[in-house]
Amino acid sequence: MAGLTARRARRQRAFRWTVLLVLGVFFLLPLVAMLEFTTRDGGGTWRLLVDWPRLSATYPDLSAGIVASLGQAALTALLMLVLLVPTAIWVRLRLPWLRRFVEFICLLPLTIPAIVLVVGLAPVYAWVTYFLGGSSLTLTFAYTILVLPYAYRAIDAGLSAIDVRTLAEAARSLGAGWATVMWRVVLPNIRSAVLSAAFLTVALVLGEFTIASLLNRTNVQVAINFLGKSSATMSVAVSLAALFLAFVLLLLLSLIGGGRRGGSEAAPLSTAKESP
Amino acid sequence: MADVVEAPVPVASAPRNRGLAHARSLLGVVPFFAYVAIFLVVPTLVVVIGAFAGDGGFTMSNLTALGDRYILEAFGRSILLSAVTAAIGAVLGALLAYALVTAKPGGVLRRVVTAASGVLAQFGGVTLAFAFLATIGLSGFVTIWLQEHLSINIYANGVWLFELPGLALVYTYFQIPLMVIVFLPALDGIRPQWREATESLGGSTWQYWTRVAGPLLAPAFLGSTLLLFANAFSAYATAAALISQGNPIIPLQIRTALTSEVVLGQQNLGKAMALGMVVVVSVVMTLYALLQRRTVRWLG
Protein backbone atom coordinates (compact mmCIF):
# COMPACT_ATOMS: atom_id res chain seq x y z
CA MET A 1 0.00 0.00 0.00
CA ALA A 2 2.79 2.40 0.94
CA GLY A 3 4.60 1.66 -2.33
CA LEU A 4 1.40 2.25 -4.26
CA THR A 5 0.85 5.60 -2.59
CA ALA A 6 4.43 6.66 -3.22
CA ARG A 7 4.20 5.67 -6.85
CA ARG A 8 0.97 7.58 -7.24
CA ALA A 9 2.46 10.65 -5.55
CA ARG A 10 5.38 10.51 -7.99
CA ARG A 11 3.06 10.15 -10.96
CA GLN A 12 0.92 13.03 -9.75
CA ARG A 13 3.98 15.20 -9.32
CA ALA A 14 5.10 14.51 -12.89
CA PHE A 15 1.59 15.21 -14.17
CA ARG A 16 1.39 18.41 -12.15
CA TRP A 17 4.62 19.86 -13.47
CA THR A 18 3.86 18.91 -17.05
CA VAL A 19 0.48 20.66 -16.94
CA LEU A 20 1.88 23.70 -15.16
CA LEU A 21 4.79 24.00 -17.56
CA VAL A 22 2.71 23.76 -20.73
CA LEU A 23 -0.05 26.09 -19.55
CA GLY A 24 2.46 28.37 -17.88
CA VAL A 25 4.16 28.94 -21.22
CA PHE A 26 0.79 29.55 -22.90
CA PHE A 27 -0.20 32.14 -20.30
CA LEU A 28 3.13 33.89 -19.86
CA LEU A 29 4.04 34.09 -23.54
CA PRO A 30 1.60 36.90 -24.45
CA LEU A 31 2.76 38.92 -21.44
CA VAL A 32 6.42 38.47 -22.35
CA ALA A 33 5.60 39.25 -25.96
CA MET A 34 3.88 42.49 -24.94
CA LEU A 35 6.97 43.53 -23.02
CA GLU A 36 9.24 42.63 -25.91
CA PHE A 37 6.98 44.35 -28.43
CA THR A 38 6.93 47.60 -26.48
CA THR A 39 10.66 47.71 -25.79
CA ARG A 40 11.81 47.26 -29.38
CA ASP A 41 12.37 51.00 -29.63
CA GLY A 42 14.68 51.01 -26.62
CA GLY A 43 12.08 52.02 -24.05
CA GLY A 44 10.95 55.23 -25.71
CA THR A 45 7.32 54.16 -25.57
CA TRP A 46 7.45 53.57 -21.84
CA ARG A 47 9.25 56.85 -21.21
CA LEU A 48 6.51 58.59 -23.15
CA LEU A 49 3.83 56.74 -21.25
CA VAL A 50 5.03 57.89 -17.83
CA ASP A 51 5.59 61.46 -19.00
CA TRP A 52 2.03 62.73 -18.66
CA PRO A 53 2.37 66.21 -20.25
CA ARG A 54 4.20 64.83 -23.26
CA LEU A 55 1.76 61.93 -23.54
CA SER A 56 -1.28 64.17 -23.56
CA ALA A 57 0.38 66.38 -26.15
CA THR A 58 1.30 63.44 -28.40
CA TYR A 59 -1.85 61.32 -27.97
CA PRO A 60 -4.64 63.60 -26.71
CA ASP A 61 -7.27 60.89 -27.32
CA LEU A 62 -5.38 58.45 -25.14
CA SER A 63 -4.94 60.82 -22.22
CA ALA A 64 -8.60 61.82 -22.48
CA GLY A 65 -9.51 58.13 -22.38
CA ILE A 66 -7.36 57.50 -19.33
CA VAL A 67 -8.86 60.46 -17.48
CA ALA A 68 -12.38 59.38 -18.46
CA SER A 69 -11.75 55.81 -17.25
CA LEU A 70 -10.42 56.95 -13.89
CA GLY A 71 -13.41 59.24 -13.44
CA GLN A 72 -15.84 56.49 -14.41
CA ALA A 73 -14.18 54.02 -12.04
CA ALA A 74 -14.35 56.41 -9.08
CA LEU A 75 -17.92 57.51 -9.76
CA THR A 76 -19.15 53.97 -10.39
CA ALA A 77 -17.61 52.70 -7.16
CA LEU A 78 -19.24 55.59 -5.30
CA LEU A 79 -22.66 55.17 -6.88
CA MET A 80 -22.54 51.39 -6.41
CA LEU A 81 -21.78 51.78 -2.72
CA VAL A 82 -24.39 54.48 -2.13
CA LEU A 83 -27.01 52.41 -3.89
CA LEU A 84 -26.17 48.92 -2.77
CA VAL A 85 -24.86 49.07 0.78
CA PRO A 86 -27.84 50.81 2.43
CA THR A 87 -30.26 48.69 0.41
CA ALA A 88 -28.56 45.43 1.35
CA ILE A 89 -28.48 46.36 5.04
CA TRP A 90 -32.05 47.65 5.01
CA VAL A 91 -33.37 44.53 3.30
CA ARG A 92 -31.64 42.32 5.83
CA LEU A 93 -33.04 44.27 8.76
CA ARG A 94 -36.53 45.28 7.72
CA LEU A 95 -37.55 43.39 4.60
CA PRO A 96 -36.10 39.88 4.82
CA TRP A 97 -38.86 38.55 2.54
CA LEU A 98 -37.50 40.77 -0.22
CA ARG A 99 -33.96 39.43 -0.04
CA ARG A 100 -34.31 36.67 -2.65
CA PHE A 101 -35.84 39.15 -5.07
CA VAL A 102 -33.09 41.73 -4.56
CA GLU A 103 -30.51 38.99 -5.07
CA PHE A 104 -32.24 37.89 -8.26
CA ILE A 105 -32.26 41.46 -9.59
CA CYS A 106 -28.61 41.95 -8.72
CA LEU A 107 -27.53 38.75 -10.46
CA LEU A 108 -29.71 39.44 -13.53
CA PRO A 109 -27.01 41.36 -15.45
CA LEU A 110 -25.02 38.11 -15.57
CA THR A 111 -27.54 36.63 -18.00
CA ILE A 112 -27.76 39.78 -20.11
CA PRO A 113 -24.64 40.16 -22.27
CA ALA A 114 -23.25 43.71 -22.39
CA ILE A 115 -23.85 43.82 -26.14
CA VAL A 116 -27.55 43.15 -25.50
CA LEU A 117 -27.73 45.67 -22.68
CA VAL A 118 -26.27 48.33 -24.93
CA VAL A 119 -29.04 47.76 -27.49
CA GLY A 120 -31.62 48.52 -24.81
CA LEU A 121 -29.59 51.30 -23.25
CA ALA A 122 -29.34 53.33 -26.45
CA PRO A 123 -32.82 54.93 -26.07
CA VAL A 124 -32.30 55.40 -22.32
CA TYR A 125 -29.05 57.19 -23.03
CA ALA A 126 -30.79 59.47 -25.51
CA TRP A 127 -32.59 60.82 -22.44
CA VAL A 128 -29.43 60.86 -20.34
CA THR A 129 -27.72 62.91 -23.02
CA TYR A 130 -30.75 65.23 -23.14
CA PHE A 131 -30.63 65.88 -19.39
CA LEU A 132 -26.94 65.57 -18.52
CA GLY A 133 -25.11 65.98 -21.79
CA GLY A 134 -22.89 63.55 -23.66
CA SER A 135 -20.02 63.40 -21.20
CA SER A 136 -18.22 60.07 -20.92
CA LEU A 137 -18.77 60.18 -17.19
CA THR A 138 -22.47 59.43 -17.77
CA LEU A 139 -21.40 55.85 -18.51
CA THR A 140 -21.32 55.53 -14.74
CA PHE A 141 -25.04 54.71 -14.81
CA ALA A 142 -24.61 51.72 -17.10
CA TYR A 143 -21.46 50.54 -15.33
CA THR A 144 -23.20 50.49 -11.98
CA ILE A 145 -25.62 47.95 -13.45
CA LEU A 146 -22.75 45.92 -14.94
CA VAL A 147 -20.91 45.60 -11.63
CA LEU A 148 -24.05 44.87 -9.63
CA PRO A 149 -23.63 41.05 -9.53
CA TYR A 150 -20.04 41.16 -8.34
CA ALA A 151 -20.51 44.00 -5.89
CA TYR A 152 -23.68 42.47 -4.49
CA ARG A 153 -22.01 39.13 -3.88
CA ALA A 154 -19.07 40.76 -2.11
CA ILE A 155 -21.28 42.91 0.12
CA ASP A 156 -23.76 40.12 0.80
CA ALA A 157 -20.90 37.82 1.86
CA GLY A 158 -19.70 40.54 4.22
CA LEU A 159 -23.15 40.99 5.73
CA SER A 160 -23.60 37.23 6.15
CA ALA A 161 -20.41 37.06 8.17
CA ILE A 162 -21.72 39.39 10.89
CA ASP A 163 -24.87 39.42 12.97
CA VAL A 164 -26.42 42.55 11.47
CA ARG A 165 -29.68 42.21 13.36
CA THR A 166 -28.15 42.01 16.85
CA LEU A 167 -25.81 44.88 16.07
CA ALA A 168 -28.70 46.99 14.84
CA GLU A 169 -30.92 46.14 17.78
CA ALA A 170 -28.16 46.93 20.24
CA ALA A 171 -27.54 50.28 18.58
CA ARG A 172 -31.26 51.09 18.34
CA SER A 173 -31.87 50.23 21.97
CA LEU A 174 -29.11 52.68 22.86
CA GLY A 175 -30.99 55.35 20.95
CA ALA A 176 -29.25 55.33 17.58
CA GLY A 177 -31.19 56.35 14.48
CA TRP A 178 -31.11 54.28 11.31
CA ALA A 179 -28.46 56.51 9.74
CA THR A 180 -26.19 55.97 12.74
CA VAL A 181 -26.83 52.23 12.62
CA MET A 182 -25.75 52.04 9.01
CA TRP A 183 -22.90 54.53 9.01
CA ARG A 184 -21.32 53.91 12.40
CA VAL A 185 -22.31 50.39 13.36
CA VAL A 186 -22.80 48.13 10.35
CA LEU A 187 -20.50 49.80 7.82
CA PRO A 188 -17.30 49.56 9.90
CA ASN A 189 -18.02 45.87 10.35
CA ILE A 190 -18.21 45.15 6.63
CA ARG A 191 -15.24 47.33 5.71
CA SER A 192 -13.33 44.61 3.91
CA ALA A 193 -16.41 43.51 1.94
CA VAL A 194 -17.02 47.11 0.87
CA LEU A 195 -13.40 47.39 -0.15
CA SER A 196 -13.65 44.17 -2.20
CA ALA A 197 -16.75 45.46 -3.95
CA ALA A 198 -15.01 48.75 -4.72
CA PHE A 199 -11.87 47.04 -6.06
CA LEU A 200 -13.87 44.71 -8.27
CA THR A 201 -15.83 47.67 -9.57
CA VAL A 202 -12.69 49.60 -10.43
CA ALA A 203 -11.13 46.58 -12.15
CA LEU A 204 -14.24 45.91 -14.21
CA VAL A 205 -14.78 49.53 -15.20
CA LEU A 206 -11.15 49.93 -16.30
CA GLY A 207 -11.61 46.96 -18.64
CA GLU A 208 -14.98 47.92 -20.12
CA PHE A 209 -15.18 48.50 -23.86
CA THR A 210 -18.52 47.34 -25.27
CA ILE A 211 -20.86 49.95 -23.83
CA ALA A 212 -18.45 52.86 -24.10
CA SER A 213 -17.66 52.25 -27.74
CA LEU A 214 -21.24 51.60 -28.85
CA LEU A 215 -22.68 54.60 -27.00
CA ASN A 216 -20.03 56.81 -28.65
CA ARG A 217 -18.27 57.73 -25.47
CA THR A 218 -14.64 57.28 -24.57
CA ASN A 219 -12.59 55.46 -21.98
CA VAL A 220 -9.15 53.93 -21.91
CA GLN A 221 -10.19 50.77 -23.79
CA VAL A 222 -11.86 52.74 -26.56
CA ALA A 223 -8.74 54.90 -26.79
CA ILE A 224 -6.45 51.85 -26.99
CA ASN A 225 -8.56 50.35 -29.73
CA PHE A 226 -8.59 53.61 -31.67
CA LEU A 227 -4.86 54.12 -31.22
CA GLY A 228 -4.15 50.56 -32.31
CA LYS A 229 -4.86 51.57 -35.91
CA SER A 230 -2.04 54.13 -35.97
CA SER A 231 0.40 53.31 -33.18
CA ALA A 232 0.29 49.66 -32.22
CA THR A 233 3.29 49.90 -29.90
CA MET A 234 1.68 52.54 -27.71
CA SER A 235 -1.58 50.56 -27.63
CA VAL A 236 0.20 47.45 -26.49
CA ALA A 237 2.11 49.42 -23.85
CA VAL A 238 -1.08 50.93 -22.43
CA SER A 239 -2.72 47.49 -22.53
CA LEU A 240 0.14 46.04 -20.52
CA ALA A 241 0.01 48.90 -18.04
CA ALA A 242 -3.77 48.52 -17.64
CA LEU A 243 -3.37 44.80 -17.18
CA PHE A 244 -0.68 45.34 -14.58
CA LEU A 245 -2.94 47.75 -12.71
CA ALA A 246 -5.78 45.22 -12.75
CA PHE A 247 -3.34 42.56 -11.53
CA VAL A 248 -2.33 44.70 -8.57
CA LEU A 249 -5.93 45.59 -7.73
CA LEU A 250 -7.18 42.02 -7.86
CA LEU A 251 -4.17 40.65 -5.99
CA LEU A 252 -4.84 43.19 -3.24
CA LEU A 253 -8.42 41.97 -3.35
CA SER A 254 -7.45 38.34 -2.90
CA LEU A 255 -5.20 39.39 -0.01
CA ILE A 256 -8.16 41.09 1.67
CA GLY A 257 -10.22 37.98 0.93
CA GLY A 258 -7.45 35.79 2.33
CA GLY A 259 -7.64 37.73 5.59
CA ARG A 260 -11.22 36.55 6.09
CA ARG A 261 -11.18 32.91 6.99
CA GLY A 262 -13.61 30.34 5.69
CA GLY A 263 -11.90 28.62 2.76
CA SER A 264 -13.24 31.04 0.20
CA GLU A 265 -10.21 32.12 -1.77
CA ALA A 266 -11.11 34.72 -4.34
CA ALA A 267 -14.75 34.28 -3.32
CA PRO A 268 -16.06 37.42 -5.00
CA LEU A 269 -14.51 36.29 -8.25
CA SER A 270 -15.86 32.81 -8.09
CA THR A 271 -18.22 33.00 -11.02
CA ALA A 272 -16.09 35.61 -12.68
CA LYS A 273 -17.08 37.99 -15.36
CA GLU A 274 -19.38 37.34 -18.29
CA SER A 275 -18.39 40.01 -20.70
CA PRO A 276 -14.77 40.09 -21.69
CA MET B 1 -37.79 40.45 14.97
CA ALA B 2 -36.97 43.92 13.77
CA ASP B 3 -40.20 45.06 15.41
CA VAL B 4 -38.53 44.56 18.77
CA VAL B 5 -36.67 47.78 18.32
CA GLU B 6 -39.78 49.72 17.34
CA ALA B 7 -41.57 51.75 19.98
CA PRO B 8 -44.17 49.64 21.79
CA VAL B 9 -47.41 49.79 19.83
CA PRO B 10 -50.82 50.01 21.50
CA VAL B 11 -52.75 46.85 20.70
CA ALA B 12 -55.83 48.54 19.26
CA SER B 13 -54.07 50.42 16.49
CA ALA B 14 -51.59 47.70 15.75
CA PRO B 15 -52.77 46.70 12.26
CA ARG B 16 -52.80 50.27 10.94
CA ASN B 17 -49.40 51.12 12.40
CA ARG B 18 -47.97 47.86 11.22
CA GLY B 19 -49.13 48.72 7.73
CA LEU B 20 -47.63 52.19 8.03
CA ALA B 21 -44.32 50.86 9.29
CA HIS B 22 -44.38 48.38 6.45
CA ALA B 23 -44.88 51.11 3.89
CA ARG B 24 -42.10 53.14 5.51
CA SER B 25 -39.80 50.12 5.33
CA LEU B 26 -40.52 49.77 1.64
CA LEU B 27 -39.55 53.40 1.09
CA GLY B 28 -36.01 52.42 2.02
CA VAL B 29 -35.57 50.31 -1.11
CA VAL B 30 -37.21 52.77 -3.51
CA PRO B 31 -33.95 54.38 -4.73
CA PHE B 32 -32.44 51.01 -5.54
CA PHE B 33 -35.48 49.71 -7.38
CA ALA B 34 -36.02 52.99 -9.21
CA TYR B 35 -32.44 52.91 -10.42
CA VAL B 36 -32.64 49.29 -11.49
CA ALA B 37 -35.94 49.98 -13.25
CA ILE B 38 -34.46 52.76 -15.35
CA PHE B 39 -31.11 51.22 -16.24
CA LEU B 40 -31.83 47.49 -16.25
CA VAL B 41 -35.55 46.80 -16.62
CA VAL B 42 -36.28 49.49 -19.22
CA PRO B 43 -33.36 48.43 -21.47
CA THR B 44 -34.47 44.81 -21.21
CA LEU B 45 -38.03 45.79 -22.13
CA VAL B 46 -36.75 47.92 -24.99
CA VAL B 47 -35.04 44.83 -26.42
CA VAL B 48 -37.97 42.49 -25.86
CA ILE B 49 -40.69 44.85 -27.06
CA GLY B 50 -38.53 46.26 -29.85
CA ALA B 51 -38.00 42.78 -31.23
CA PHE B 52 -41.75 42.61 -31.89
CA ALA B 53 -42.29 46.21 -32.94
CA GLY B 54 -42.51 47.50 -36.49
CA ASP B 55 -43.71 50.67 -38.14
CA GLY B 56 -47.34 50.07 -37.39
CA GLY B 57 -47.20 48.24 -34.06
CA PHE B 58 -46.84 44.55 -33.46
CA THR B 59 -45.01 42.50 -36.05
CA MET B 60 -43.19 39.24 -36.38
CA SER B 61 -41.08 40.44 -39.28
CA ASN B 62 -38.02 41.16 -37.10
CA LEU B 63 -38.07 37.65 -35.76
CA THR B 64 -38.65 36.08 -39.15
CA ALA B 65 -35.72 38.16 -40.41
CA LEU B 66 -33.61 36.16 -37.96
CA GLY B 67 -34.13 33.30 -40.40
CA ASP B 68 -32.06 35.14 -43.02
CA ARG B 69 -29.10 33.13 -44.10
CA TYR B 70 -26.39 35.52 -42.95
CA ILE B 71 -27.92 35.85 -39.47
CA LEU B 72 -28.41 32.12 -39.08
CA GLU B 73 -24.82 31.60 -40.15
CA ALA B 74 -23.62 34.21 -37.65
CA PHE B 75 -25.57 32.49 -34.89
CA GLY B 76 -24.13 29.16 -36.00
CA ARG B 77 -20.58 30.50 -35.94
CA SER B 78 -21.14 32.12 -32.54
CA ILE B 79 -22.40 28.85 -31.13
CA LEU B 80 -19.58 26.88 -32.74
CA LEU B 81 -16.95 29.30 -31.45
CA SER B 82 -18.43 29.23 -27.94
CA ALA B 83 -18.76 25.44 -27.92
CA VAL B 84 -15.21 24.84 -29.14
CA THR B 85 -13.59 27.30 -26.74
CA ALA B 86 -15.79 26.05 -23.88
CA ALA B 87 -14.73 22.45 -24.57
CA ILE B 88 -11.02 23.27 -24.87
CA GLY B 89 -11.15 25.59 -21.87
CA ALA B 90 -13.04 23.04 -19.80
CA VAL B 91 -10.65 20.17 -20.50
CA LEU B 92 -7.44 22.16 -20.03
CA GLY B 93 -8.87 24.08 -17.08
CA ALA B 94 -9.97 20.87 -15.39
CA LEU B 95 -6.49 19.38 -15.86
CA LEU B 96 -4.94 22.48 -14.33
CA ALA B 97 -7.44 22.44 -11.47
CA TYR B 98 -6.64 18.77 -10.81
CA ALA B 99 -2.94 19.57 -10.84
CA LEU B 100 -3.64 22.16 -8.16
CA VAL B 101 -5.67 19.76 -6.05
CA THR B 102 -2.85 17.23 -5.98
CA ALA B 103 -0.46 19.95 -4.83
CA LYS B 104 0.02 20.79 -1.19
CA PRO B 105 -3.22 22.30 0.12
CA GLY B 106 -2.73 25.94 1.04
CA GLY B 107 0.70 25.88 -0.60
CA VAL B 108 2.28 28.72 -2.53
CA LEU B 109 1.70 27.07 -5.91
CA ARG B 110 -2.01 26.76 -5.38
CA ARG B 111 -2.44 30.26 -4.02
CA VAL B 112 -0.47 31.83 -6.84
CA VAL B 113 -2.27 29.94 -9.59
CA THR B 114 -5.72 30.62 -8.10
CA ALA B 115 -5.00 34.32 -7.74
CA ALA B 116 -3.58 34.48 -11.28
CA SER B 117 -6.63 32.66 -12.62
CA GLY B 118 -8.87 35.20 -10.91
CA VAL B 119 -7.09 37.99 -12.72
CA LEU B 120 -6.74 36.28 -16.11
CA ALA B 121 -10.40 35.24 -16.20
CA GLN B 122 -11.19 38.96 -16.02
CA PHE B 123 -8.61 39.71 -18.69
CA GLY B 124 -10.52 40.15 -21.87
CA GLY B 125 -11.49 42.63 -24.43
CA VAL B 126 -9.29 45.02 -26.28
CA THR B 127 -6.32 44.49 -23.98
CA LEU B 128 -6.30 40.78 -24.68
CA ALA B 129 -6.60 41.32 -28.40
CA PHE B 130 -3.52 43.54 -28.32
CA ALA B 131 -1.65 41.03 -26.20
CA PHE B 132 -2.12 38.47 -28.95
CA LEU B 133 -1.27 40.99 -31.63
CA ALA B 134 2.07 41.49 -29.89
CA THR B 135 2.50 37.72 -29.64
CA ILE B 136 1.39 36.22 -32.93
CA GLY B 137 0.44 39.27 -34.94
CA LEU B 138 2.22 39.82 -38.22
CA SER B 139 5.16 41.44 -36.44
CA GLY B 140 4.55 39.64 -33.16
CA PHE B 141 7.21 38.19 -30.91
CA VAL B 142 6.48 34.52 -31.62
CA THR B 143 5.78 35.03 -35.30
CA ILE B 144 9.14 36.67 -35.88
CA TRP B 145 11.02 34.25 -33.65
CA LEU B 146 9.64 31.22 -35.49
CA GLN B 147 10.39 32.84 -38.82
CA GLU B 148 13.97 33.69 -37.94
CA HIS B 149 15.00 30.59 -36.01
CA LEU B 150 12.96 27.78 -37.52
CA SER B 151 11.84 29.44 -40.75
CA ILE B 152 8.26 28.55 -39.98
CA ASN B 153 5.67 30.94 -41.31
CA ILE B 154 2.58 30.43 -39.19
CA TYR B 155 0.58 32.46 -41.67
CA ALA B 156 1.64 30.53 -44.75
CA ASN B 157 -2.02 29.66 -45.34
CA GLY B 158 -3.44 33.11 -44.64
CA VAL B 159 -3.60 35.31 -41.56
CA TRP B 160 -5.95 33.24 -39.40
CA LEU B 161 -5.46 35.40 -36.29
CA PHE B 162 -8.06 37.89 -37.49
CA GLU B 163 -10.60 35.19 -38.28
CA LEU B 164 -12.50 32.61 -36.26
CA PRO B 165 -9.54 30.29 -35.49
CA GLY B 166 -7.60 33.24 -34.09
CA LEU B 167 -10.58 34.30 -32.05
CA ALA B 168 -10.89 30.78 -30.66
CA LEU B 169 -7.24 30.82 -29.58
CA VAL B 170 -7.64 34.20 -27.90
CA TYR B 171 -10.84 33.16 -26.12
CA THR B 172 -9.07 30.11 -24.71
CA TYR B 173 -6.87 32.54 -22.82
CA PHE B 174 -9.71 33.60 -20.54
CA GLN B 175 -11.72 30.36 -20.68
CA ILE B 176 -9.06 28.18 -19.02
CA PRO B 177 -8.64 30.41 -15.92
CA LEU B 178 -12.42 30.72 -15.59
CA MET B 179 -12.69 26.93 -15.62
CA VAL B 180 -10.07 26.69 -12.88
CA ILE B 181 -12.06 29.08 -10.70
CA VAL B 182 -15.45 27.44 -11.14
CA PHE B 183 -14.29 23.81 -11.18
CA LEU B 184 -11.82 23.90 -8.30
CA PRO B 185 -14.48 23.89 -5.54
CA ALA B 186 -16.01 20.70 -6.98
CA LEU B 187 -12.61 18.97 -7.09
CA ASP B 188 -12.02 20.05 -3.51
CA GLY B 189 -15.25 18.30 -2.58
CA ILE B 190 -13.80 14.92 -3.60
CA ARG B 191 -12.79 13.19 -0.38
CA PRO B 192 -9.66 11.04 -0.14
CA GLN B 193 -11.74 8.50 1.80
CA TRP B 194 -13.67 7.65 -1.37
CA ARG B 195 -10.48 6.64 -3.09
CA GLU B 196 -9.38 4.65 -0.06
CA ALA B 197 -12.77 2.94 0.03
CA THR B 198 -12.44 2.04 -3.65
CA GLU B 199 -8.99 0.61 -3.06
CA SER B 200 -9.96 -1.35 0.04
CA LEU B 201 -12.71 -2.95 -2.07
CA GLY B 202 -10.11 -3.89 -4.69
CA GLY B 203 -10.87 -1.20 -7.25
CA SER B 204 -8.21 0.05 -9.65
CA THR B 205 -7.38 3.64 -10.49
CA TRP B 206 -9.32 3.25 -13.73
CA GLN B 207 -12.36 1.98 -11.87
CA TYR B 208 -12.07 4.80 -9.34
CA TRP B 209 -12.15 7.43 -12.07
CA THR B 210 -14.88 5.85 -14.21
CA ARG B 211 -17.15 4.56 -11.44
CA VAL B 212 -16.66 6.93 -8.50
CA ALA B 213 -14.99 10.27 -9.19
CA GLY B 214 -16.14 10.55 -12.81
CA PRO B 215 -19.89 10.34 -12.18
CA LEU B 216 -19.53 12.60 -9.13
CA LEU B 217 -17.67 15.27 -11.07
CA ALA B 218 -19.68 15.00 -14.28
CA PRO B 219 -22.45 17.47 -13.32
CA ALA B 220 -19.91 20.00 -12.07
CA PHE B 221 -17.82 19.58 -15.21
CA LEU B 222 -20.81 19.94 -17.52
CA GLY B 223 -22.13 22.89 -15.56
CA SER B 224 -18.79 24.68 -15.69
CA THR B 225 -18.57 24.00 -19.42
CA LEU B 226 -21.99 25.61 -19.89
CA LEU B 227 -20.85 28.65 -17.94
CA LEU B 228 -17.81 28.89 -20.21
CA PHE B 229 -20.10 28.61 -23.21
CA ALA B 230 -22.26 31.50 -22.02
CA ASN B 231 -19.12 33.48 -21.27
CA ALA B 232 -17.76 33.10 -24.80
CA PHE B 233 -21.16 33.57 -26.39
CA SER B 234 -21.66 36.95 -24.67
CA ALA B 235 -18.15 38.21 -25.39
CA TYR B 236 -17.95 41.18 -27.70
CA ALA B 237 -14.94 43.39 -27.07
CA THR B 238 -12.22 40.88 -28.00
CA ALA B 239 -13.88 40.11 -31.29
CA ALA B 240 -14.56 43.77 -32.02
CA ALA B 241 -10.90 44.64 -31.52
CA LEU B 242 -9.50 41.64 -33.36
CA ILE B 243 -11.74 41.03 -36.34
CA SER B 244 -11.43 43.72 -38.95
CA GLN B 245 -13.31 42.25 -41.87
CA GLY B 246 -16.91 41.14 -41.92
CA ASN B 247 -19.12 40.27 -38.99
CA PRO B 248 -18.75 36.54 -38.55
CA ILE B 249 -20.38 36.32 -35.13
CA ILE B 250 -23.66 37.60 -33.79
CA PRO B 251 -22.37 40.30 -31.39
CA LEU B 252 -20.61 41.93 -34.33
CA GLN B 253 -23.81 41.72 -36.39
CA ILE B 254 -25.57 43.56 -33.57
CA ARG B 255 -22.88 46.23 -33.68
CA THR B 256 -23.53 46.76 -37.37
CA ALA B 257 -27.28 46.91 -36.78
CA LEU B 258 -26.69 49.53 -34.08
CA THR B 259 -24.18 51.75 -35.81
CA SER B 260 -24.83 51.60 -39.53
CA GLU B 261 -27.63 53.27 -41.41
CA VAL B 262 -30.77 51.29 -40.79
CA VAL B 263 -32.20 49.37 -43.67
CA LEU B 264 -35.83 50.28 -44.19
CA GLY B 265 -38.14 47.91 -42.33
CA GLN B 266 -35.30 46.43 -40.32
CA GLN B 267 -34.84 49.09 -37.65
CA ASN B 268 -35.48 46.58 -34.96
CA LEU B 269 -33.47 43.71 -36.35
CA GLY B 270 -30.69 44.42 -33.83
CA LYS B 271 -33.19 44.04 -31.03
CA ALA B 272 -34.39 40.74 -32.45
CA MET B 273 -30.81 39.44 -32.60
CA ALA B 274 -30.23 40.69 -29.06
CA LEU B 275 -33.34 38.83 -27.94
CA GLY B 276 -32.02 35.72 -29.65
CA MET B 277 -28.78 36.04 -27.69
CA VAL B 278 -30.67 36.46 -24.42
CA VAL B 279 -32.70 33.33 -25.16
CA VAL B 280 -29.56 31.27 -25.81
CA VAL B 281 -27.79 32.58 -22.71
CA SER B 282 -30.87 32.07 -20.52
CA VAL B 283 -31.28 28.46 -21.64
CA VAL B 284 -27.61 27.75 -20.99
CA MET B 285 -27.64 29.46 -17.59
CA THR B 286 -30.80 27.61 -16.53
CA LEU B 287 -29.16 24.30 -17.36
CA TYR B 288 -26.10 25.49 -15.45
CA ALA B 289 -28.21 26.25 -12.38
CA LEU B 290 -29.86 22.82 -12.55
CA LEU B 291 -26.50 21.05 -12.82
CA GLN B 292 -25.13 23.20 -10.03
CA ARG B 293 -27.95 22.07 -7.76
CA ARG B 294 -27.09 18.47 -8.54
CA THR B 295 -23.40 19.10 -7.91
CA VAL B 296 -23.81 20.42 -4.39
CA ARG B 297 -25.70 17.29 -3.36
CA TRP B 298 -22.39 15.40 -3.22
CA LEU B 299 -19.62 17.91 -3.59
CA GLY B 300 -21.07 20.96 -1.85
Q: Is the ipTM of this complex over 0.90?
A: no
Taking Cα atoms as reference points, which of A190, A128, A142, A133 lies closest to residue A164? A190
Residue contact A16–B38, C-beta within 8 A: no
Q: Is A123 on the interface with B (CB under 8 A)?
A: yes
Q: Is B234 on the interface with A (CB under 8 A)?
A: yes
Q: Is the pLDDT of residue B59 over 60?
A: yes
pLDDT given for residue B16 in this prediction: 59
pLDDT given for residue A260 in this prediction: 46
pLDDT given for residue A258 in this prediction: 55
Q: Is B121 on the interface with A (CB under 8 A)?
A: yes
Instruction: Enumerate residues 41 to 70 of chain A having a beta carbon within 8 A of any beta carbon in chain B.
Output: none
What CATH number does domain A60-269 carry, 3.30.565.10, 1.10.10.520, 1.10.3720.10, 3.30.300.30?
1.10.3720.10
Residue contact B115–A207, C-beta within 8 A: no
pLDDT given for residue A2 in this prediction: 61
Q: Is the dihedral of CA B259, B262, B267, B271 positive or negative?
A: negative
Torsion angle, alpha carbons of A249, A253, A256, A259, to 10: -130
Kindly state the average pLDDT of the residues A190-212.
Answer: 87
Residue contact B181–A203, C-beta within 8 A: no
Residue contact A120–B231, C-beta within 8 A: no
- Sequence-separated (6 or more) residues with CB below 8 Å from residue B144: none
Taking Cα atoms as reference points, which of A148, A276, A145 lies closest to residue B231? A276
pLDDT given for residue A266 in this prediction: 37
Angstrom CA distances, B200 to B190, B203, B205, stand at 17, 7, 12
**Distance between CA B147 and CA B151 in Å, rounded?**
4
Instruction: Enumerate residues 57 to 86 of chain B having a beta carbon within 8 A of any beta carbon in chain A.
Output: none
What confidence tier does B86 reach under pLDDT thresholds 50, 70, 90?
A: very high
Q: Which fold has domain B68-299?
A: MetI-like fold (1.10.3720)
Q: Is B103 on the interface with A (CB under 8 A)?
A: yes
- Enumerate the domain spans of chain B: 2-51, 68-299
Output phi, psi for B206, to 5 deg.
-60, -45
Q: Is the pLDDT of residue B53 over 90?
A: no
Q: Is the pLDDT of residue B265 over 60?
A: no
- The nearest CA of chain B is from the CA of A135 a distance in Å of 17
- Enumerate the domain spans of chain A: 60-269
Taking Cα atoms as reference points, which of A177, A173, A182 lies closest to residue B5? A173
> What tens digit of pLDDT does each residue of A17-26 get?
888 899 988 8
Residue contact B119–A20, C-beta within 8 A: no
Residue contact B126–A31, C-beta within 8 A: no
Greater confidence (B116 vs A267) lies with B116
- Sequence-separated (6 or more) residues with CB below 8 Å from residue A97: none
pLDDT given for residue A75 in this prediction: 93
Kindly state the average pLDDT of the residues A135-164.
Answer: 89
What 3-state DSSP class applies to B53? strand
pLDDT given for residue B160 in this prediction: 76
Judged by average pLDDT, the poorest of A40-49, A70-79, A239-248, A264-273 is: A264-273
